[in-house]
Each structure stands twice: as structure tokens, then as C-alpha cells.
Chains A and B, each alone.
Chain A
Amino acid sequence: EIVLTQSPGTLSLSPGERATLSCRPSHNLMSNYMAWYQQKPGQAPRLLIFGPSTRATGIPDRFSASGSGTDFTLTISRLEPEDSAVYYCQQYGNTPLFSFGPGTTVEI
């Protein structure tokens, strides 16, 4: 079973700073594919990035992603107040077929 570990648990930063969020699968995914979601309180998750680094429709270029195997990163450059949210990574293709990390809370 693949377990995704996200770190840090909480990230407190100021507007304009850069946030670096980590997602580490328990086993090598043998892929550079990871999906990332943003969830604000009381809302459904929103797809941010999928694949190596493809932003979903309407997602600003402040959001970027990279990584492969057992080490994936979501970067938010130039943080804005509306970026306060919980960010989840999600893998596909292992057991279970889909799974999510526990999330990183970004406080601005």
C-alpha cells in the first residue's frame, strides 16, 4: 500500500514569500506524476496541478510542481492572502488506486 507523507504539517509565511510543500510516497511511484489540490474551509478541494507540472484551468503561474519517484514538491511563489488553505497531494496507479496525503496547511 502506498502512503503519502506531506510536510510540513503547517507552514506560516508572509505575503510575497515562497512556500515549498513536500509530498513523499512510501514507495517509489516509478513516475513523475502527482496531482495537487487546494482546499479552503467549507469548500471542496480544487485541482491545482497534475502530471509533472501542468496547471489546471485558471490556476495562476505562481503555482508550480516538480518531482519524481519518492520526492515531490509544490511551490507557491509570491504568496497572496487568498493562498491560505490546506494543500493535498494525490497519487494514482498503486494500491489503493487513488490516495491522498494528509495535507499541509498554509497560513498567511
Chain B
Amino acid sequence: QVQLQESGPGLVKPSETLSLTCSVSGDSINNYHWSWIRQPPGKELEWIGYFYDSGSTTYNPSLQSRVIMSLDTSENQISLKVKSVVAADTAVYYCARVGYSYGRAHFDHWGQGILVTVSS
């Protein structure tokens, strides 16, 4: 059974870069596609980006100027960087595995999430 675990600093200062890692166990990250999703406290889910097909990425247009996702296949990890953070970037950040059916996609496994607060 695949398991995902997010890690990284819980507090980031405004204008700095938020960096998170998702460690995957139970399967190789090369076998699947991956996403990051976030959820501000008490609010709805927001998709951040999608990593697929050996290095291709698609980001939410609302965030794409500030976001970079990458894979570290040697460590079986997926990473997320969000540049120039502001208070509105405060959220629980989830990594998730992408599943497919009928030519469409959903998220079939999720990490437990990590709360990142942007504050000075």
C-alpha cells in the first residue's frame, strides 16, 4: 500500500520561498503521476500542480508564476517550491497520487498534510 508523507518547515516568512517534500513509500514514484493540493484553514481545496510523464508539469494558472514541482527519483520524493509567499499561502499542503479512469483523473492516495504558516 503506497504511503505519502509531507515534510518541511511549518513557518515561512513573507516574501521567502516555501519548500516542501513528499516522501513516497510502497511504490516507485516513476510508476505514477503526482500532484500538490492545498487547503487554507477552514476553506476549500485548491489544486496547485501536476507532475506527469517523466518531467512534465502543469500548474494552476493562479499560481504558476510562483510554483515549481520536481521529482527526486533516487529518494522517491516529490518536492514543491512556492516563491514570494504571502499570508494567503498559509494552508495545509497535501501531496497526492493521481489515478486515472475513463481518460480522466482523480486523487486516489493522499498524504496526511502539513500546515505551513506564512508569518513574520
Query: Which A residues are within 8 Å of any B CB, using their own CB?
Result: 31, 33, 35, 37, 43-47, 50-52, 54, 56, 88, 90, 92-93, 95-103
Tell me whether A102 and B108 are in contact (CB under 8 A): no
> A35: shortest Cβ distance to chain B, in Å?
4
8 nearest CB pairs, A to B: A35-B106, A44-B110, A98-B47, A33-B104, A100-B45, A50-B106, A92-B105, A92-B104
Tell me whether B101 and A54 are in contact (CB under 8 A): yes
> A21: shortest Cβ distance to chain B, in Å?
14
Is B60 an interface residue, CB under 8 A from the partner?
yes
Nearest residue (CB) in A for B50 is: A97
> Which residues of the other chain, B, contact A99 by a CB distance below 8 angstroms?
47
> B44: shortest Cβ distance to chain A, in Å?
5
> A97: shortest Cβ distance to chain B, in Å?
5
> Which residues of the other chain, A, contact B107 by a CB distance below 8 angstroms?
35, 37, 45, 47, 90
Tell me whether B45 and A45 are in contact (CB under 8 A): yes
Which among B50, B58, B102 has the greatest number of chain A C-beta atoms within 10 A? B102
Contact of B61 among A35, A51, A96 (CB under 8 A): A96
Query: Which B residues are within 8 Å of any A CB, using their own CB?
Result: 35, 44-47, 50, 58, 60-62, 94, 99, 101-102, 104-108, 110-113
The complex places the Cα of A33 from the Cα of B60 at a distance, in Å, of 20
The complex places the Cα of A87 from the Cα of B112 at a distance, in Å, of 17
Taking A45-B107, A47-B106, A99-B47 as given, write out 17 further A-B residue pairs in contact, using a Cβ cutoff of 8 Å, ordered by the A residue number: A31-B104, A35-B106, A35-B107, A44-B94, A44-B112, A45-B94, A46-B110, A56-B108, A88-B44, A88-B45, A90-B107, A92-B105, A92-B106, A96-B62, A97-B50, A98-B47, A100-B45
> Which residues of the other chain, A, contact B50 by a CB distance below 8 angstroms?
97-98
Q: Give me 6 A-to-B residue pairs in the complex whose CB atoms sit less than 8 angstroms apart, sorted by A's number.
A: A43-B112, A47-B108, A54-B101, A90-B107, A92-B105, A101-B44
Contact A51/B101 with A45-B107, A98-B50 known, Cβ cut-off 8 Å? yes
Contact A98/B110 with A44-B94, A50-B99 known, Cβ cut-off 8 Å? no
